[in-house]
Structures are given as C-alpha cells and as structure tokens.
Amino acid sequence: MAFIDARTLPEATEIEADLILIGGGMASISIAKQWAGVGKSVAILESGGRERDMEVQALYAGGGTMRAPGNPDRNIDSYLVQSRARWYGGSGNVWGGKCVPLDESDFAERDWLERTGWPVTRAEMQPYFNRACDLLQIPRFDRDWDRNPDPERPALPINDNFHASPRVFSALSGEVDGAKFDAFRNDFVEAADNIRVYLHANVTNIRMHRNGRQVSDLEVRCLNGRRHTARGRAYVLATGGIENVRLLLASGGIGNHSDLLGRCFMGHVTFGVYENAEGLNTMLSVGDGRDMSLYVDAGRDKVHCVVATGLEGQRRFNTANFTTTLVGTGNPTSAEDRAVLALAAKLDVNGAAPKQHPCFFMSEHLPNLDSRLTLLPDHVDPLGMPRVYLDWSYSARDLDNLERSIAALGDALGAEGKGRIRWPVARENLLSILNMSRHHIGATRMSADPEHGVVDEHSRIHGVRNLYIAGCSVFPTSGIANPTLTIIAMTMRLSDHLKRDMGVRT
C-alpha cells in the first residue's frame, strides 16, 4: 500500500498524515527520505503517475513573454510545458544531474546590488550541502578545488577576481540511469511503513482555517473526476518554482501579504552559441595549446571547466555573479570540435597555438519586481485551476552585468597574455539567441522580514503557522549555480526544523 492511485479511492476520501508533502519531485523526495521510519506518518500528494502522461503534463500549459530593454519581446508560451516534468520524480526524471553549491557571494548581501542577501550564510549551509551530496551520491564540495590536479592540463590563470567552481554530475536522473533513479524514488517508500505516495492526486486548493493563520486542509482532485481531502499537522508545498506560486495564488493569494508572491522570478542570463567557424561563436582560447584543468570529467563532458567571479571580483567590476563554462564534446569529428580547430588556426596567443574551447556564459539574473508570475483567470485547466503567465524580465542591469563580466575576464586573460574571449553578440540581439535555463527561482522569496519575503528564514510562509515551501522559489537570489543541489540542501535544513517542531529526534 505504499503507492496509492488516488483515482481508485472512494469519492471524498479523507487522507490524513502528520506531514503532508505537496508534489513528488526532488525536493519532496529528499524530505520524505529523512522521515522514513521516524514514527510520524508522511503523505506525498503527486499529480502524476510513475510514467510520463501527456494529459497530466498538459496541466502545466500556460503563457509567457521574455523581455529585456532594447530587445524585441520573445514569446515563450511553450516554455511552461517544456521546462518541467509532471510525474512522480518531477524534473528529476529529465534533469542533467549537474551539481554545485551556490557560493559564498551568492548568499552575501552585496551593497552594490539590490535585494541581495540570504538569511542564512554559506558557512551555515555546509553541513546541509554535505548531506545533499551524500543523497545524490556525489563527492562532497569540501575540498580545495583550486589546486591543479593534473600538470598535463594547466589551470586557467586565476587571480583574486576569478576562481574555479567545478561542477560534478549525479547519475540520479531518469535520463542518465533510469534504474538507479527508480531505486532512488521508489525503494525508500516500499521499505518504510510510515510513508505513502498518492499518485494522480492533484492539489487544487489550499484551504485556510477561518482564523487565517493556519491551513485547515487541502482539496485534492483527480483527472477522472474524483475529489478528496487531505489533512495534516504540517504541509510542505513542493510543486516546483512556478507551480508553488500558481497554487498559492489560486488559493486566494496565501503569502501575498507584501505583494511579493509571484514577483522576482529569476532564471539565469545564459549564452553559448556554437554555430560554425565563420558564424556566431562564443569561444575562449587559452594560450599553451593544452586542455585545461580545474575540470570535471565524469564521462559526460571531456572538458568541463567553470570559472566564476568571486565576491571581490564582483565588487571591483560592479557586477553580479558570473561563470564561464568551457565544454568539449570529446569527439574530434563533431561539428563543434571541427569549428574549434578551424578557429584555432587563426589565433596566435604568445606565439603558441591556443587551445580553443566553445564556452557559455552565465550571469546572475537579479531579483526585479517586474519579472513575475500571474494567473490567467479566463484560462483554466481541466481541473478548474487558472493557468499561469510568466513575464520573464531582465533589467538593463542584468545585461550590463553580463557584458562587464565578459570584458573583465577577457581583460584578465589578455593582461597575462594567456587567452582571449570571442563574444560577437550585440546587445539588441541578446534575447533572440539566449539559452533559457530551466531554473524557476525566487517567486516565493525568503526573508526574515515579512515586508521583504513570502517565507521566513525557516521556509515557512509568514503569518501561516503550518505551511512551508520547498524548492528554489524560496531562493532570494538566483546565484550562479544550477539550483538542485541547493534545493536539496535547503530541504535538509527544512526537514530538521520540522522534526524539531514535531518532537522528532534529528
């Protein structure tokens, strides 16, 4: 009985548990795993089944526009369905598994940038990052990554302004290793007698107690028409960075006390263009003709080297966080690598044939109030839920940060005669060629001050005693990392808090 199909339950079943997790993605599963066998009952309410089903996936459909000053608007309607996965395991079924913690500057309040600073520091997060790495079966990020591990692959010249920030890959993804991912999402449920997963159980309304300060119960609907109710002592909303907002807005605007619910949505500013040797290319060349170090090689990307701007560098250049990622296909006959070789012949750095690396640049998307999620009240899905509209807006400051960061790295390489950057993109063309991240960050932002946040420092919605949020919608800034490792670290922290609250030993 660990997995239950909610469509087969009698109409108006009352689901009860101590802890109710809404959504069954990586965030929810990470919490549930901490509660296996602890003597409290846990229910996961998941919209989908165990496999992709296009009728369920279509519940994610909505509309969207991407905007940036000086650029024509870009229609992103299809993004709402294509950038996430609505079945048990969530986007964990399809993610790339790339992991890295947010770095110190991501958590810091930076007085040259608006709305930065988390109510928790990077140092306080370290134990939770360790646990997140263990859960994802990757090495911990507690080693000195700046050391050059291989003399045959020299490090990029890194000064005080730039540092290495390598990523590692987890195999716990439905795309990478389906059997391993199945074991990850299923085995603990089968083994624990206190965890039940309700599949095909869509939460469509969070109903508040009449005192307005706590959740009373949840409305649960199935696509075959069945309706149920779920009731718990504490509730964690973990339906992903967009759907968390949609459900709160559709439930009367829970958490919108300071008009921030849905605002400050962030992806990243990400560009990498590898067309051909004569066309648009972002490219970084390094002077000594050898592969670079400070890389990870997990059999996925032969060269995968990430250089980030540190806190001091950001202050000096008046920028936000920024990374350059060098990627190689490892396949010398691929179009990308042939293009690299063709260009390499044209450049000459310090007299040596430079090694050319296709690269992509990622700059932080800063929180701004106009980048937001709203509901489309006249467009409802088959469950009666209003569909969502995404205004993904970059500010002029975001574009400045990207261009200044690229220039600063190029200057640093050039000053040492060790490399150069090719960046042939005009500002007014930026939007049309950028790669869209699938990172849905910030629209239920965290702050200890209710005026500046939807959730408090424990991920609890301000003013609501028993409703918490898990996932990257609580991140106050987007930082410069793929978010999932940090999502999981934050859920470890949340799980400990909930256990203390419910008298469970941690």
Ligand X SMILES: Cc1cc2nc3c(=O)[nH]c(=O)nc-3n(C[C@H](O)[C@H](O)[C@H](O)COP(=O)(O)OP(=O)(O)OC[C@H]3O[C@@H](n4cnc5c(N)ncnc54)[C@H](O)[C@@H]3O)c2cc1C
**Which residues sit at the interface with ligand X, rule CB under 6 A?**
22-28, 45-48, 83-84, 86-88, 90-92, 94-98, 202-203, 238-240, 243, 247, 438, 471-472, 482-484, 487
Whether 195 and 42 have beta carbons less than 8 Å apart is answered as: yes
> Residue 422 — φ and ψ, nearest 5°?
-105, 125
Report which secondary-structure segment, H or E, holds 363: strand 355-364
Instruction: Please state the closest distance from residue 383 (CB atom) to ligand X, in A.
Output: 8
C-alpha 202/C-alpha 186 separation (Å) is 19
Closest by Cα among 105, 135, 390 to 240 = 390
Ramachandran quadrant class, 178 (left: phi over 0; alpha: psi -120 to 50; beta: rest): alpha
Instruction: Please state the closest distance from residue 22 (CB atom) to ligand X, in A.
Output: 6
| Closer to ligand X by Cβ: residue 99 or 464 | 99
Whether 221 and 198 have beta carbons less than 8 Å apart is answered as: no
| Closer to ligand X by Cβ: residue 28 or 314 | 28
| Closer to ligand X by Cβ: residue 64 or 92 | 92
| Closer to ligand X by Cβ: residue 48 or 313 | 48
Query: Tokens at residue 41, please?
Result: 């009952």
Whether 299 and 330 have beta carbons less than 8 Å apart is answered as: no
Instruction: Please state the closest distance from residue 49 (CB atom) to ligand X, in A.
Output: 10
Report which secondary-structure segment, H or E, holds 344: helix 335-344
Instruction: Please state the closest distance from residue 203 (CB atom) to ligand X, in A.
Output: 4
Ramachandran quadrant class, 484 (left: phi over 0; alpha: psi -120 to 50; beta: rest): alpha
Q: Which residues of 368-390 are buried (b: 16+ CB within 10 A; e: fewer)?
A: beebbbbbeeeeebebebbbbbb
Q: Where are the strands (E) in 97-252, listed by range? A: 98-99, 162-164, 168-169, 195-199, 202-208, 215-221, 227-237
Report the DSSP pairing between strands 202-208 and 215-221: antiparallel
| Closer to ligand X by Cβ: residue 47 or 395 | 47
Query: Which residues, in sequence order, are CB contacts of 67 under 8 Å at separation 6+?
Result: 73, 74, 391, 392, 393, 394, 431
Residue with the CB atom nearest ligand X in the bound state: 25
Q: How far is CA 272 from CA 319, 345, 358, 434, in A?
A: 19, 21, 8, 7
C-alpha neighbours within 13 Å on the C-beta side of residue 260: 26
Instruction: Please state the closest distance from residue 94 (CB atom) to ligand X, in A.
Output: 4
Is 336 exposed, middle or buried (CB count within 10 Å of its CB: 0-12, 13-18, 19+)?
middle
Closest by Cα among 147, 132, 145, 148 to 99 = 132
Instruction: Please state the closest distance from residue 2 (CB atom) to ligand X, in A.
Output: 17
Report which secondary-structure segment, H or E, holds 65: strand 63-67
| Closer to ligand X by Cβ: residue 161 or 491 | 491
> For the chain, how many helices (H) and strands (E)?
12, 21
| Closer to ligand X by Cβ: residue 408 or 494 | 494
Instruction: Please state the closest distance from residue 287 (CB atom) to ligand X, in A.
Output: 31
C-alpha 396/C-alpha 247 separation (Å) is 31
| Closer to ligand X by Cβ: residue 83 or 395 | 83
| Closer to ligand X by Cβ: residue 95 or 423 | 95
Instruction: Please state the closest distance from residue 449 (CB atom) to ligand X, in A.
Output: 24
Instruction: Please state the closest distance from residue 87 (CB atom) to ligand X, in A.
Output: 6
Instruction: Please state the closest distance from residue 457 (CB atom) to ligand X, in A.
Output: 19
| Closer to ligand X by Cβ: residue 198 or 361 | 198
Report which secondary-structure segment, H or E, holds 250: helix 243-250
| Closer to ligand X by Cβ: residue 479 or 483 | 483
Q: Where are the strands (E) in 195-310, listed by range? A: 195-199, 202-208, 215-221, 227-237, 268-271, 283-286, 304-309
Instruction: Please state the closest distance from residue 366 (CB atom) to ligand X, in A.
Output: 19
| Closer to ligand X by Cβ: residue 96 or 450 | 96
Instruction: Please state the closest distance from residue 239 (CB atom) to ligand X, in A.
Output: 4
| Closer to ligand X by Cβ: residue 25 or 287 | 25
Instruction: Please state the closest distance from residue 381 (CB atom) to ligand X, in A.
Output: 10
C-alpha 422/C-alpha 271 separation (Å) is 12
